[in-house]
Chain A
Amino acid sequence: MSLDPKEPPRHLGGELVIPVMAVIFTLYYFTTIWNSPWTAQVSAFAIGGILLFVCALFFIKMVGYLQRGEGRLTFGNLFSYEDIRSGRIGLLITTVGFCVLIGDLGFTLTTFLFLWLSMAILGKFKRLGLITLTATLMSLGGWAVFIWAFETRFPRGWFENTMRMVLSNG
């Protein structure tokens, strides 16, 4: 039973994600330095050792919460219906798409597609005119400032190459 009935039980599953990641990564890290010279080991064993100790303390604390009924092994603080309603899942998918496509399509085109689709998802496909205008201005503005004016080494694609040829031929 939870000690305070008014207080909802903690989502301990979610709180355990970072420590579990930390433990897995630390153990993996140790395997990569096991046969290394001491110079490669000393700092990592010291830091990793402390991290494993602190994580162990945290796990013990979590067991205490579970036994007292103050928390459950749920992930409500990480995943909920709100993620779908707010468009967070959609934004995550478009972000992954942005990362995958930017190497081939280049900065301007990918940014336009990403901004348009993400804003449309988050805005529940309302005010598409304003969204199209914003996405166009931001992507073209980014191209003009960073690629055309300052020649920053952004990923380049069809649009950037065409514009370069158009501008260089007057």
Chain B
Amino acid sequence: MLIKRPDDCPSSSITPRELFERRRDFIKTGAGLALAALLPTAQAAEKLAGRPSLYSSDETQTPYKHVTGYNNFYEFGTDKEDPAANAHRLQTQPWTLRIEGLVQKPKTFDIDQLRKLAPLEERIYRLRCVEGWSMVIPWVGYPLAALLRQVEPLGSAKYVEFISAVQAENMPGVRDRVLGWPYVEGLRLDEARHPLTLLALGLYGEVLPKQNGAPIRIVVPWKYGFKSGKSIVRIRFTDTEPLTSWVEANRREYGFYSNVNPQVDHPRWSQKRERRLGEFGKRDTQLFNGYSEVAPLYAGMDLKRSF
């Protein structure tokens, strides 16, 4: 019996063999591209480069995924993964930073002004969390002192208060009264003016991811991480010690200074050692997180009492 088959398949429509054999790759790539177009996180972040700094550490940097995936930012939830999951809702445009209090010239800056205020530097700093873990993060920013100069502080100003944003509708954590909102942090004026104290606008060569405190944050590398306020909207010069959020929450366990200090335990856990993320063992914690150049700031102070 003769089976007649219509000759309806022109050779032009036959897939070349090498393409046919790679069909799975083709589908994968196509699906990947389609997915990338859907995901906002897959969009390339805006670059923000800074020139190298002598203040940088040469230690191994903590991988980007951990720096941006393991965060304490209670406005977005108390789990370490919450900020990465929820912070995309933070509204960062427009954003203004108001500087006021005991100053000659109170001023309001927008982000463009802040970016141009001083040359951007890359500062690779250790970050030690009060919970006993640490990271090494390449920040992009400039000394906070450069900004503080702009408003001409009065002689009576002794402290600087940093107030973080509250966007109740975008911040699921603010609904829980875990801390008093807005999040408030503070430094003594000489600490705030120390060349190590950074106003950060980026990390890893790009603008700050939202879970890391976009669009502007403070970085004080010799103090526990919570001293470095995120998503700052207001800076206030005062003559009295600011009541910071953690001191307000638990005066017995958190002090205003909160310098990294292996000799001063948190009442509930030891601060002698820390686990650098990515390492199996623990390292000894260094006084002032290894930034011994800040020691003169505390000359004559009892660091056990002023913890």
Tell me, yes or no, whether A binds B: no
Chain B residues at the A interface, C-beta cutoff of 8 Å: none
